[in-house]
Each structure stands twice: as structure tokens, then as C-alpha cells.
Chains A and B, each alone.
Chain A
Amino acid sequence: MIKFFLMVNKQGQTRLSRYYEHVEIHKRTMLEAEVIKNCLSRSKDQCSFIEYKDFKLVYRQYAALFVVVGINETENEMAVYELIHNFVEVLDKYFSRVVMNVIISNK
């Protein structure tokens, strides 16, 4: 099951967050900060799945934007990896490149 879906830029600011389970507001910020820290500290040649607390993070980097999805153990990590790419492609097609720049740019 997907627990949350985040889009974060390289500076650590959350651009989009969607939680599919109830999480307190202040806990969300803490969670996001830690998750981002984990993802940003990974190098290029490390795998995209991180084990974090009792669930897994699947992340994917697009230029200056990180898309991070938190899943539990029953989910297929590679399918979710594919899903992230699909989502980004859909955004791209639908908003024809505007959204990408808008999200990544410094606001």
C-alpha cells in the first residue's frame, strides 16, 4: 500500500505532498525532513530503494526534483518505481512542460 507521495526539490522544500494515511501536521514536516535528508545523501550509483523505519522509500530524481513514494512491504518496489515515471510522464504530457519548470524553479 502506498503510504505517501512527495515531490521535493533539491533545496529540501516540499512541492507536493499527499498522504494516504492520517499523519499529524507536525509529524509530516518531521517525516518530510528526514526522508529528504535520506534521499539527498544518496549518490548516483546507489539503488533507489531505502529502508526507513518500518516502510520503504522509493525515490527517483528528475533534474532538481525528487519524487519519493513511501510504501509498505507488500508492495512491489519496482512497479512503484515505474509508476513514478508514469506519473511524471502524464504531468509532462498534460501540462506540456510548463509544470516541470514551474515546479523545479526556485519557488
Chain B
Amino acid sequence: MRMPAPIRLRELIRTIRTARTQAEEREMIQKECAAIRSSFREEDNTYRCRNVAKLLYMHMLGYPAHFGQLECLKLIASQKFTDKRIGYLGAMLLLDERQDVHLLMTNCIKNDLNHSTQYVQGLALCTLGCMGSSEMCRDLAGEVEKLLKTSNSYLRKKAALCAVHVIRKVPELMEMFLPATKNLLNEKNHGVLHTSVVLLTEMCERSPDMLAHFRKLVPQLVRILKNLIMSGYSPEHDVSGISDPFLQVRILRLLRILGRNDDDSSEAMNDILAQVATNTETSKNVGNAILYETVLTIMDIKSESGLRVLAINILGRFLLNNDKNIRYVALTSLLKTVQTDHNAVQRHRSTIVDCLKDLDVSIKRRAMELSFALVNGNNVRGMMKELLYFLDSCEPEFKADCASGIFLAAEKYAPSKRWHIDTIMRVLTTAGSYVRDDAVPNLIQLITNSVEMHAYTVQRLYKAILGDYSQQPLVQVASWCIGEYGDLLVSGQCEEEEPIQVTEDEVLDILESILISNMSASVTRGYALTAIMKLSTRFTCTVNRIKKVVSIYGSSIDVELQQRAVEYNALFKKYDHMRPALLERMPVMEKVTTNGPTEVVQTNGETEPAVLETKPPPSGLQPGSQANDLLDLLGGSDITPVIPTVPTSKPASAGGELLDLLGDLNLTGSPVPAPAPQISQPPFLLDGLPSQPLFNDIAAGIPSITAYNKNGLKIDFTFERSNTNPSVTVITIQASNSTELDMTDFVFQAAVPKTFQLQLLSPSSSVIPAFNSGTITQVIKILNPQKQQLRMRIKLTYNHKGSAMQDLAEVNNFPPQSWHGCNHADSQSSVASPESVVMSERCRDPRNSWFSTMVNFKAF
């Protein structure tokens, strides 16, 4: 029984249009699909084309149409052009290389590529260029190459695009197309020119040899571009008054690739670029698009300075344009060039700053980034004013970045300490909750170092939190300062501004309300409690009140607060004689800038040096208060290398001795002040491993060591002396994994004492395969100009068995030859049991025993 003839595509579309709901439409489509399927089963040749067309329409609407794939193949194999057309269209839409059936097309396409009708050949080329898989491309590349050399421009342009696809799929075939490219640029037809330029661009991007080969085409490209600009109106290529802008942009892009890093080519392009830049009409978007591409090209090649200035002026002109798109594009390009052509961009600074007030979010972000790049010593005051105003009024997503940017810029270019502190205060009060975590320790360090400003600072901070103590970073910094300099506050000693009258009770009031408030985070409360404690030595009449507060919190639910309160209580009761010494003023900290060469923890080239500060280890130590308070007295922590403590000129104070005793990596090159007990090997909290030379480094004669061996992860160091510089030691680390599962995302970080400089090169990979089947190697270069004993702290992070692991360790078993052998004979002998040395030293001084209890208590 024959079915009625299937309806035409138009009928179908009309029917579907009449459906009023989605459900109705689905019904109609399902009915039609069923009809089509049965028609396919009947192997009906006459109507196959129509059915597949309908199927494609339904596919466009989003319904599944995979059952039509084989039908497309049959259509392709047919002799009729209308069939082939629908068949190829279907193949492009429904088939891709993941279906196995597509390979059946290869033979058809091959035949069609040699067909007598150019339209059929064109269809085949299009399809191959659209969805050809690597196998198909390999088989048919020869045919494509042949067609690339034909004189028929219709075919030539399609063949060029098909070649682009072939090269993308099978890069090795690129050489095959090389001879055919000889004459490509001689064509007059814009279609062929355009596609040829695309092909050349693709080849140059993929292979530096091709790039070198095609450099000789630069004069020809320049000539083509010139003709395009100078030629009169041509109706078939005109877009808003400019002749074929798309081709112009393509050629400019190719010139950019060819001229990069090559003086001769850049030289040849200078004139034409200047010509394009000056002659192009800028009233319409088209012209601006071409100018934009020109500017990008000028910036990227080795152009002469006059041309660069011209380019930046064009960008400056863009900034004044009303069209948002153009302003956005200009800001983006200026951001790219500000590093290299700083002065030229400075001239447009005021326009850029105006863009901060624009309504569009993307423009504001670009303007903000660019403004930060333009800040320098001369304009810092003006720029900061604008940026602070921007911080006030911008959207929340910008505030964090803006605040960090302001801090960085203020640190680098502050004209005076007071201005610096004022700026920081302003940021804290306007955007206090968006400030990043690492800002708080940085600020505290800054404040500590500006000794003459202490009174002013604490007064301002006090006034700031009087009104509102909800912004956590502000409250943290303020509590810390009040704790440190509370005595200055109540004595009213401020020179910079009018001193305010504050009583001790008022200060304690505010600190207590911070403790009680629901808005305070746990960290903030910790700061406040410690501040109150410190005030017990600075205030005179309110010590009893402080004792009461501290004892209340001894039963707080928050474990952190409770621990602190209990310890402080202990201070009051049993160790009252030590209290003044423990709670005295913090010494001036060594200023560590984020990009200075002093104790900077360098990581693999990818992350910035400050990364360790923002990643608290999983043991839950907070980077803020603990590092500042108790752990500082223990001699620095691994978490904040930014705050190394230095024994200052307080020779006989208990604080100084304790610092030395518990030592850390921050010993300066000069000998430690006399009263400190001599220790040959500073005790470390983590024991170093006994050194075992794994394999003798015969070349340099320095034995290698196992630096770390825990949980299946082993890291070995092998040493070499650098040939060029005898103070440089080159260490190659090898990390291996003896467990049954791989360790992934492995990151190795290292810190060395201040007198050394460390450079960490990129690792070989970030995965350590299991069962010792492979290693990660990484090279460390250490500069040791003072020939000090080499020590290192390392931090390892990796993923193992599905969880993130992190570990800190000390490496102090470096063989003496690696740092040129100091004359410390004692230091070599005590590798065996530094622990015993520690205990014996500690036992000698009764004060130290308190500290060891403190340490144990902390660990508990």
C-alpha cells in the first residue's frame, strides 16, 4: 500500500506555524517524523530529497534527526544536483567525525571533487572543509591541493578555505600546500585574495619556518593594501564607503604576524601603515575597525617611534569618541601598550580618568586597570584622589581589586608617611569589608614601621571605629593598634592633629563591645582580646577590669578565644613577673616589599610571590593575629614570611633572648648580640633528616641529600656549583612517589634566610606517578654571597587519594660543600639530635620552660 506523497517543506513550515502551543508543535513534528521514517524505509528515491529537507528544518528547531544520516549519504551518492545539494547540507549539519558513517562519504567526495560541474565541486569542498575528519583530510588533501592551483576563482577560494581546515586537522600536511601558495596573491578576485590571506595566516601561525618563508610576500601584501585604499569606488566591494574593509583587516593582521620581531619586514610596512592610519575615514564604525587593526599591528611589530606615537594618538582620539565600543577597544589596547610606551600613554591620562565615571561596566574596569598602570611618583596624589572617589561609588565587584590596587600604588609611591596612612584609612573606612585578607598584616607592618606616626594613627583608628565597628579588616587593624599604642592614645600626645581626650575606660569599652558584638568575626575577636591583654601593661588604673574581662572569656564557647583567655589568665596568676616583658612593644619589623629580593618565597613562575600569605595551612592557624602575636615571639611562622622578627638593640631583654633561643631562619649576617646564648645549631621545631648521599654527584663532588621523606613522598636534592658564579649553587630536586596512587597538582615552594637569594625554575610537570615510576624535577638556584650555612624551609602541596595535602618542612642537612664550607665545625656534628640540644638549652633557663609549656599547650 503506497503512502500519499510526502508534503513539501513549505507545507510543513506552514503547518508548524499554526501550532499555538509547544505541545501542539511537538505533536505535529512527531507525526511528520514518523511519516518520514516510513518513507525512508520504503527506499523511495523521488521524495528522499524533500524528506531530508524537512528533517533538516526540524533539526534546526531543536528536535533529534539522527536517523536521517544515512539518507544524506544516499543523497550525496545520487547524480541529481538537487539531491546532492540537500545531501551535503544534511551532512554538514547532522554528521561529524564522531559518527562512523561519515567515512563512507570519503569516496563520494573524492569523485565529486573531480566532477565536471564547478558547483558540485564547490559543494564537496565546502563539506570537506566543514566537517572533514583527519582520515578524510589525509585521503583527500591531494585533490584539494590540485584545486588550489586551478584558474577558476570560484573553486580556488573554496579550496583555500578547505585547505585551512585540512591544516588544522592534520598539521603535517602543511608542506603539501606550499607550492600552491606561490600564485595565490596574484589574483584579482577579492574572494580568492581573502581566503588566501586566511590560509597564509594559518600557515604562519602554525609553523615558524613557514613564517620565515612567507616574509618575502610582504611587498606584495603592501601593494595589495595600497590598491585597496587608493582605488576609487567599487560597488561590489563597498561597505559604507570603504573598499572591502574585511580584506584590509585580514591583510593588516597577516602583516602583523610577518613583521613581528623582524626589522626588515617592519621597515617595509612603515609607510603603508602610516598611510592607512591617516587616510581612513573615521566617521563610521568600519573605518574605526580598520584603524584599530592598524594600531594593533603598529604596536606589535618593530615600528619606528614616530609611528608608535601616531598609533597612541589614534587611541587617544578613540577615547574621546562618543561610541562606547570604540572607547572600550581603545582602553583595551592602551592597557596592552602602557608597559612599553608609558610616556605616550601618560598624555591621555585625564581622559582615561574620566572614563572611570562611565556607565558601562566593561569600560570602568578597563579604565581602572589602566589608571593603576599609569600611577607614578609625580601624579600619585591626584590619581589617588580620583581612585578613592571611584572606590566610593563603584560596584561591589570592583571594590576588592580597586582596594588592592590602591594599596600597592600607595606603597610604591607614597609621598609621605602621613599621606600613606591617611590613604589606607580612607580605603578601610569606605571599602573595609572588601579588602583582601593579606592587607591586614601588611598594614600592621606599615604602621609599626612609621614610628613617629603611631600616636596619630591610633587616634584616627580609634575615631574611625567609635562610630562603626562592622568592617572587619578596619576593626582588626584598629584593635591591634589600640593594643600596641593605647598609652599614646590616653595620654593625648598627638602632634599631627588635635589630640582627643580618651580615658582608659572608654578604650576598654570599645574593645569590649567589639568582643561582644555579633558582627565581629572570630578572628576579630581574637585581635580584640589580645589588645585588651596588652593594655594591661600600658594602662595603669584599669588592670582589674582587664583581668575580669580576660577571665570571663576563659569559658567562651569559641575555642580560640577560650585558649587565649586561659593563657592570659595564667599570665596574670603564675607568671605575672613575665607579663611586662611578654607584652612590650613590638620591634620595628624589617620592611619586606612584595617584589623585593629579600626573604621572598618564590614559587614556580606561575604564581606571585605573596601566595604563601594568603593560603593558611589546613591546621587552622589564622594568618592574622596569631602570626603577629604569639608566634612572633616564637620566632616567625611559615605562614607569614613577611613578618620576620629581628633582634633589635635591646640586648638584655628577655624578649630578645627568647627570640634568639628559639631562633628561626631570620638570623642576620652579622653576629647575634652578645647576651644571647651561643647555640651552634639553632633548634628547629621540625627535625631535619639525616643526610644520605643517594648517588654521588661526581661532576661537582657534592653529595646529594634526601631533603624530605614522608607519606610516600620523597624529595632528593642534587647539587652543582655554577660555572659562571661561584656563589651560586644549583640544586636539582627530584620528587618521587612510592604510594599506589599518583600525586597530582604538586607544587614545591621554598624559602631561604634573608642573606640568600633564591630562584625557582619551572618544574617538569605537576604529577608524580605512583610506584616510583617517574619523578618531577625542578631546578633551584641559590645565591649565597656571604657563604653562609645553607638552610631552607619548604612547603609542599599536592592532591593524593582525592584529598588535598600540605606539608611544611625544614631542610638543614645540606652538605657543607654546597655552601662552600663555613668554619663551623660544631654545626656539622649536631645533626644527630638537635632535639636534645633544644631540651638541654631550654632546661637551663627557667623562663624557657614556660615557653615550652606554651608550645605544648598550643599543639594541644
Contacts of B78 in A (CB 8 A): none
Contacts of B289 in A (CB 8 A): 76, 78-79, 81-82
The answer to whether B96 and A50 have CB atoms under 8 Å apart is no
Contacts of A22 in B (CB 8 A): 96
Neighbouring A residues of B324 by C-beta, 8 Å:
45-48
Residue A83 interfacial (CB < 8 Å): yes
B168 to chain A: closest residue by CB: A1
Assess the B246–A79 pair: CB atoms within 8 A. Answer: yes
Main secondary structure of the interface of B (DSSP, over half): helix
List residues 79-112 of chain B with CB under 8 A from any CB of chain A.
Answer: 96
Residues of B within 8 A of A92 (CB): none
Contacts of B362 in A (CB 8 A): 46-47, 49-51
Tell me if B17 counts as interface (CB < 8 A to partner A): yes
Q: Say whether A78 contacts B360, CB under 8 Å.
A: no
Residues of A within 8 Å of B288, CB to CB, are 78
Contact between A107 and B17, CB atoms less than 8 A apart: yes
Chain B interface: which size bin? 20 to 34
Q: By the criterion CB–CB under 8 Å, are A76 and B293 in contact? A: yes
| B246 with A78: CB separation less than 8 A | no
A78 to B327, CA, bound (A): 11
Tell me, in angstroms, the Cα distance from A14 to B293 when the chains sit together. 31
Q: Which residues from chain A contact B246 at a C-beta distance below 8 Å? A: 79, 82-83, 86
* Interface check B285, CB cutoff 8 A: yes
Q: Is B239 a contact of A77 with CB atoms below 8 Å?
A: no
Identity of the chain B residue whose Cβ is nearest the Cβ of A43 in the assembled complex: B359
Chain B, residues 416-459, CB within 8 Å of chain A (1/0): the string is 00000000000000000000000000000000000000000000
Contact string, A67-82, partner B, CB cutoff 8 A, digits 1/0? Answer: 0000000001111011
Among residues 28 to 61 in chain A, which have CB atoms less than 8 Å away from a CB atom of chain B?
43, 45-51
Q: Which of A70-107 contact B (CB under 8 A)?
A: 76-79, 81-83, 86, 107
B363 at the interface (CB under 8 A from A): yes
Set of chain A residues within 8 Å of B293, measured between Cβ atoms: 76, 79
Q: From B249, which residue of chain A is reached at the shortest CB distance?
A: A79
Asked if B361 lies at the interface with its beta carbon under 8 angstroms from chain A, I say: yes
**B286 cross-chain contacts in A, Cβ below 8 A:** 82
Across the interface, do A82 and B360 meet the contact criterion of CB distance under 8 Å?
A: no
| A46 (CB) vs chain B CBs: closest residue | B360
**Chain B residues, CB < 8 A from A86:** 239, 246
B717 partner residues in chain A, CB cutoff 8 A: none
Q: Would you give the shortest CB distance from B363 to chain A, in whole angstroms?
A: 6
Quote the shortest CB–CB distance from B610 to chain A (angstroms): 25
Question: Does B245 interact with chain A (Cβ within 8 Å)?
Answer: yes
Chain A residues with CB below 8 A from B269, complex form:
none
B:750-799 near A, CB below 8 Å: none
Min CB distance, A41 to chain B, in Å?
A: 11
| A46 and B239 in contact, given A76-B249, A78-B292, A107-B17 (Cβ under 8 angstroms) | no
Q: Which residues of B contact A51 (CB under 8 A)?
A: 362
Contact A46 B245 (CB under 8 A): no
Interfacial residues, chain B to chain A (CB-CB below 8 A): 16-17, 60, 62, 96, 239, 245-246, 249, 253, 285-286, 288-290, 292-293, 296, 324-329, 359-363
17 contacts between A and B (CB under 8 A): A22-B96, A43-B359, A45-B359, A46-B361, A46-B362, A47-B327, A49-B328, A49-B329, A51-B362, A76-B289, A76-B296, A77-B292, A78-B289, A79-B246, A81-B325, A82-B239, A82-B246
Chain A interfacial positions (CB closer than 8 Å to B):
14, 16, 22, 43, 45-51, 76-79, 81-83, 86, 107
Known: A47-B360, A78-B288, A82-B239. 11 other contacts (CB 8 A): A14-B62, A45-B360, A46-B360, A47-B324, A48-B324, A49-B325, A76-B296, A78-B289, A78-B292, A78-B326, A78-B329
